[in-house]
Each structure stands twice: as C-alpha cells, then as structure tokens.
C-alpha cells in the first residue's frame, strides 16, 4: 500500500545524498556521440544520382554527404535538480548500473557542465519528514551560495498527496513558494503522474497539480513545464504505481535532459 501523506512515496532502495559535484566530461561520451552522427550521415548518403547527372549535366544537385547536427543543446551550463523519491533512481547505481544511462551523463550530453543533485525520498515543497529539508529550504540554501543557473524541479507527487490528505497549503501556494526563492533563474518543472486510482496518491490529484503548474506559466516567464505525464508509459512504473522500473528511470533521465535542451535551448 502507498505510504500515508506527509511521509512521501515509498522509499527507494538507495536514497541519494544531496551534495554538490562537478560532472567530469568523459571523452568517450563525446566520441560516441560524434561517431553516431558520422555513421548516420554515411548511412543516408547513398542517394542515387539523377539521369541528368549521369548524362553529364553539371547542374544536377550536389549529393555530397554532410554531417547532420549533433544532439540538441541547452544554454544551461549549470543545473540544480531538486526532486523527491521519483528522482532517486535517476542517479542510482542499483537502478541504473550503466553510468551512461544516469541523468548526470544525460545532462552532460546536452551541454550541462555542472550538475548538483538535491534528491531525497518523500520530499515536498512544504512538509518536512524526519528532520530533512523540504524543497523550499533546499532552494534557499542553494541561492544563499550565490548560485545563478538553471533549475530542474521534479516535485509535486508528495505535494499532491499532502493536499489530498488535508494540507492547508494549496497547489498555487506551493508553486509560488519555489518560484519566489528561485527568482528569475530558468526553471524546468517536471509534472507528475501515478497509476493509483484510490487514496491520497491517486492520479486524479496529480492531474490537478499539473493543471495548476500549467497555469503558473502565465505568472512566471522563466517557468517551463515538461509534460512527463503525457509521455510516461504504464510499463515504466514499478509495482507500487508511483515509482519506476530501471527501464523507466533510464527513459526518465534521457527525456528530462532532452526536454531541458528543447525548452531552454542554447
């Protein structure tokens, strides 16, 4: 059964301890990307010449292959990722034993040079669990360091459940709290979904949070919403209907990084 509201989603096998770190650029990653682009170009360069060209018509279109553009890039060279337990698997060796599938490398691929994970199970914007910092407090700590960069917020699952449980803080108040701390920095907010049909964690209340999140983009020009709820597939969810399988986390890591590049492009 899902945990009671205020305690957050079910604990994941390995909760990531939040601490800053600089992502090292792995030459092999860049080389693999470049090689993929070259192979793609070579594979598509076998276009047949026209009859006019074969007859010696020098006006025929040049079919010299060109290297296609690389993967999309973001202008966000620094990213703070604040998330609840639905983000734990993104950096976990238990869920994603292959480093290339984890979100730090996926961010690196789209141009993020410094990645700071602030991820903790059962995190919400307002409520605290077992003395841990809530998302608002984490953001305040980051801003106190003088940070000026991009933010990815994978929050709302616990918040929606807490609201359903009877919290006096509604969706707009929670969103406004985060945006007030962040200020004018670019924000990509990943919306939420579960497969639950009953209780505080039911997807019905997640959809309400998502609606408020969409409406908030009219109040904040720097707020971008990634519609994860429309792309996540049912088989990606784990048995608890809230978290994800290893395959689901691999997809989540890749797609969040791609969304960052598409919505806050270089």
Instruction: Give 199-211 pLDDT, tens digit per residue.
Output: 999 999 999 999 9
Question: pLDDT confidence of 1, banded at 50, 70, 90?
Answer: very low
Q: Are 206 and 157 in contact (CB under 8 A)?
A: yes
Q: Is the pLDDT of residue 71 over 90?
A: no
The predicted-structure confidence for 142-194, as pLDDT tens digits, reads as follows 999 999 999 999 999 999 999 999 999 999 999 999 999 999 999 999 999 99
Question: pLDDT confidence of 130, banded at 50, 70, 90?
Answer: confident
Alpha carbon distance 7, 129 (integer Å): 6
Alpha carbon distance 175, 209 (integer Å): 9
Residue 231's nearest CA partner among 205, 264, 263, 254 is 254
C-alpha dist (Å) from residue 108 to 25, 31, 100, 105, 127? 7, 13, 10, 5, 32
Alpha carbon distance 237, 201 (integer Å): 14
Query: For position 202, what pLDDT does the model report?
Result: 98
Q: What is the mean pLDDT of residues 101-106?
A: 98
Query: For position 67, what pLDDT does the model report?
Result: 58
What are the extents of the domains in the chain?
Answer: 75-263
Q: Is the pLDDT of residue 251 over 90?
A: yes
Instruction: Decide if domain 75-263 falls under CATH 3.40.50.150.
Output: no
């Amino acid at each position: 059964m899902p945990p009671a509201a205020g305690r957050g989603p079910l604990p994941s096998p390995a909760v990531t301890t939040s601490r800053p770190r600089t992502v090292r650029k792995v030459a092999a990653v860049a080389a693999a990307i470049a090689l993929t682009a070259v192979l793609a170009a070579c594979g598509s360069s076998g276009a047949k010449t026209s009859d006019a060209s074969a007859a010696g018509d020098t006006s025929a279109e040049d079919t010299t292959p060109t290297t296609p553009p690389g993967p999309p890039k973001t202008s966000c060279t620094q990213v703070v990722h604040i998330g609840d337990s639905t983000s734990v698997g993104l950096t976990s060796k238990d869920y994603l034993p292959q480093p290339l599938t984890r979100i730090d490398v996926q961010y690196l691929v789209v141009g993020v040079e410094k990645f700071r994970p602030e991820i903790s199970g059962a995190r919400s914007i307002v409520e605290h669990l077992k003395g841990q910092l809530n998302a608002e407090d984490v953001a305040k700590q980051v801003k106190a360091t003088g940070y000026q960069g991009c933010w990815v917020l994978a929050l709302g699952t616990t918040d929606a459940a807490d609201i359903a449980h009877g919290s006096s803080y509604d969706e707009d108040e929670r969103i406004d709290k985060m945006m007030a701390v962040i200020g004018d920095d670019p924000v990509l907010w990943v919306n939420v979904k579960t497969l639950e049909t009953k209780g505080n964690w039911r997807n019905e209340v997640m959809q309400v949070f998502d609606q408020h999140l969409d409406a908030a983009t009219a109040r904040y020009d720097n707020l971008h919403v990634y519609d994860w709820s429309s792309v996540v597939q049912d088989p990606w969810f784990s048995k608890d209907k809230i978290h994800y399988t290893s395959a689901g986390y691999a997809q989540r890591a890749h797609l969040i990084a791609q969304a960052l590049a598409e919505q806050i492009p270089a």
